[in-house]
Amino acid sequence: MQVDSDSATAVVAPAPAPNPRAYVPAFDGLRGFALCAVLLYHGGYAWLPGGFFSVSTFFTLSGFLITRLMLQEMQKKGRLAIGAFYLRRARRLLPAAILTLGFIVVFRSKFGAISPERLRGDVVAGLAYGENWWLIHTDQAYGAIFATGSPVQHFWSLAIEEQYYVVFPLLFWGLYRFLRKPSIVFGALVAMTAGSLAVAAWLSSDLTRTYYGTDTRAAEILFGVLLAYAVARFDRTERSPSTRMAIEVLAVVGLVGTVVLWLTVDLHDLFVFRGGTLLNGLFTAAIIVAGLQRGVVTRFLSLAPWRLLGSISYGIYLLHWPIFVILNPSRLGLSLLPTFVVRLAVTITIATLLYVLIENRVRRGRMLKGRIFFVVMAIGSAAVLGLAIAMPDSGAQTIDLAAAGPVAGQLDALAKTPTVAGDARVLLVGDSMGWSVSVGLSDWGRQHHLQVGRYTALGCGVGGPGTLEYLGLVRPTFPDCADWQRLMGTAVKDFKPDVALVVVGLADISPRQFPDGTFRSIGDPRYDARLTAKVQTIARTLTATGARLQWATFPHVNIPYNAGGTGTPPFVENDPKRIDQLNALVAAALKTIPNASMVDFAGYSRSRPGGELDHDYRPDGAHLSVQGTADVANWLGPKLLR
């Protein structure tokens, strides 16, 4: 086989199904159907916890369509025009993506707590189609998204697809070049699919790595690749009535199964990558095959709403997330449903204009013809990059929660912390607020003979692991929550603190599901009794080696309705009365614990000139700014040294 700059010759591939380039309305309908789940999920509807599976559906459909076209080209021409393929993909994807990133950079000031430092990296990664690995590299914990969601976050899935578009044609050519027989090539692709599923299952306890990894998500695309081979092999003749009926039944099962996944599986369920994506891939494959024949599934997916939505799905997906971040319930002053309607109307309107005026015209060669396309794309990319780099600092910046490592890593660090003669030792125990306090306290301690050990878990509370209605969305607590409490005694034993400082509380404001299925929260007698016992257990654990316990009162919060804004406003977590009740409950519980007392962090925050919710002090309404954590350390440090 010989390769030049634009094409690759190859052995003859299996014959594809008839007319693979023909328009299939059901495929646009499937896009529209899946896109609805994305919009509802990102819109904050708690009854659709598995809406994220719809992205997997897009992956599988893309794998099928691209491979089908490649098989056709190889069958007809005996070669694969790789250069032409890349050009088609570039004309299809780049204009809308560059315009969206430019829009995000220009309107950065509308995105609340998103810092220029975070957004610069996101924009550059989005521009290079590497957002998924950037999120992994910066360890953007899923829990942190709810307070500081990035308007570029959704580019992670586009990055995976683009990486597939770049790599797969070369892989496809290479497999045929060296393996030659279609059956052997198919076997190699099956092995790759199995390997990706195995890696995803193996890494599934690390949600960030598994969710964003190209390797862990490759199987979802390869399902479509394998399906294209199967269709090419078995669709050479007319399907018998019994075969058509079997396909139709399987597709109905696939549609129902897809909806069941959307309605029942939460992202933090280990089943997602230990069977969930496999099931979703099989369901999607059944639907795709049925879309190639007449039947009830094709008629359903070809309905105008699904089909029209699917035809502009790329623009809607690109635009919806930054628009949702900007048009949040807090800014609009509306409840969840009216907010969703406004967001949807604006997104669809802009996406339609983008498709008609730019996307479709560029794609079909009626705009930016020839080399001018590359010139304009280069200028546009350079402009977006320059604007991102030149973004001015907006003032107070939130502490980077992504730096908070898992409990196991913190425990290891505590065990290895050397004792410095003459230094007091403080073990800071808490959640994400505790982490933000620890940053400034650690810096202060290095100048004042105070060693600070961090033992924090994002999104966790005194109540421990379980199911919470957090920011309006029902979800299990993060895996670290169980280890945080279980290994707390080990942390105390390893670090040997003089003082244990607890800064925790937000998750204990959220309603918690009890064994009988009911959700209860602060003020409910059963909830209060349970939480009191938990506070006392933690207090005894932290003072078991003779340490003095200082438990910080928790300040009021005002979580914004941005990327993590879900449910009907206002969030219960923002209710100051509930936080006051929590502080009173903790104070009462500690009266029975020797050597334990409260430190009035909430009172200090209220006494500041701008108050406890001052943007310069707490930019996202919850966590401290860089200056805020330094100010708290200057106030708190001397109290801990006494």
DSSP 358: I
SS3 per-residue string spanning 201-229: HHCCCCHHHHHHCHHHHHHHHHHHHHHHH
In the predicted structure, residue 622 carries a pLDDT above the cut 80: yes
Of 35, 8, 28, the closest CA to residue 170 belongs to 8
Predicted pLDDT of residue 151 = 85
Predicted pLDDT of residue 403 = 61
DSSP 16: P
CA torsion sign for 74, 287, 302, 312 is negative
Predicted pLDDT of residue 14 = 53
Mean pLDDT of 329-349: 84
CA of residue 13 relative to chain centroid, distance: 38
Predicted pLDDT of residue 330 = 59
Beta bridge partners of 499: 426, 548
List of E strands, 448-583: 450-456, 467-470, 473-476, 499-503, 512-513, 519-520, 548-552
Q: pLDDT tier at 12 (50, 70, 90 boundaries)? A: very low
Predicted pLDDT of residue 57 = 97
Predicted pLDDT of residue 211 = 92
Q: Report pLDDT digits (tens) over 514-564.
A: 988 888 999 999 999 999 999 999 999 999 999 999 999 999 998 765 434
116 upstream amide cis, omega within 30 of 0 = no
**In this prediction, what percent of the chain has a pLDDT beyond 90?**
56
Q: Report pLDDT digits (tens) over 453-489.
A: 999 988 889 999 988 888 777 778 877 888 899 999 9
Question: For helices 241-264 and 53-77, what crossing angle results, to 10°?
Answer: 140
In the predicted structure, residue 148 carries a pLDDT above the cut 60: no
Distance CA 559, CA 510 (A): 13
The least confident of 32-41, 279-288, 621-630 is 621-630
Distance CA 154, CA 124 (A): 14
Q: Is 94 within 8 Å of 196 (Cβ atoms)?
A: no
Q: pLDDT tier at 7 (50, 70, 90 boundaries)? A: very low
Q: How many CA atoms lie within 13 A of 531 on its CB side?
A: 28
Q: Which amino acid is at 2?
A: Q
Of 96, 223, 58, 89, the closest CA to residue 166 belongs to 89
The least confident of 332-336, 401-405, 419-423, 637-641 is 401-405
Distance CA 495, CA 509 (A): 29
Q: Which amino acid is at 145?
A: I
Q: Is 104 within 8 Å of 152 (Cβ atoms)?
A: yes
Instruction: Tell me the two tokens of residue 495.
Output: 């670090």
Predicted pLDDT of residue 337 = 85
Of 119, 163, 111, the closest CA to residue 389 belongs to 119
Distance CA 311, CA 7 (A): 29
Distance CA 277, CA 613 (A): 42
Q: Report pLDDT digits (tens) over 395-425.
A: 556 666 656 667 877 888 888 888 887 789 9
Predicted pLDDT of residue 146 = 44
Delineate the domains of the chain, giving CATH numbers in brackets: 22-389 (no CATH), 401-641 (3.40.50.1110)
Distance CA 494, CA 160 (A): 42
How far, in Å, are 5, 567, 638 from residue 339 at the CA level?
50, 11, 47
Q: What is the helix (H) or strand (E) element at residue 376, kind and residue range? A: helix 372-389
Distance CA 304, CA 77 (A): 36
Long-range contacts of 370-378 (CB under 8 A, 24+ apart): 373/90, 373/91, 377/90, 377/94, 377/95, 377/98
Q: Report pLDDT digits (tens) over 571-612.
A: 788 889 999 999 999 999 999 999 999 999 999 999 988 888
How far, in Å, are 92, 364, 380 from residue 87 at the CA level?
8, 12, 17
Predicted pLDDT of residue 113 = 46
Q: Where are the alpha helices (DSSP H) in 555-609?
A: 576-590, 601-607
Question: For helices 276-290 and 25-42, what crossing angle results, to 10°?
Answer: 150
Instruction: Please give the mean pLDDT across all residues of the chain.
Output: 86
Predicted pLDDT of residue 570 = 62
Q: Report pLDDT digits (tens) over 88-131.
A: 999 999 999 999 999 988 887 555 545 566 788 889 999 999 99
Q: Is 505 within 8 Å of 461 (Cβ atoms)?
A: yes
Mean pLDDT of 621-634: 89
Predicted pLDDT of residue 543 = 94
Q: Report pLDDT digits (tens) over 196-212.
A: 999 999 998 888 899 99
Mean pLDDT of 70-76: 84
DSSP, collapsed to helix, strand or coil, labels residue 249 as helix
Residue 95, judged by CB atoms within 10 A of its CB (0-12, 13-18, 19+), counts as: buried
Which residues in 606-624 are b (16+ Cβ under 10 Å) and which e?
Answer: eebeeebbeeebbbbbbbb
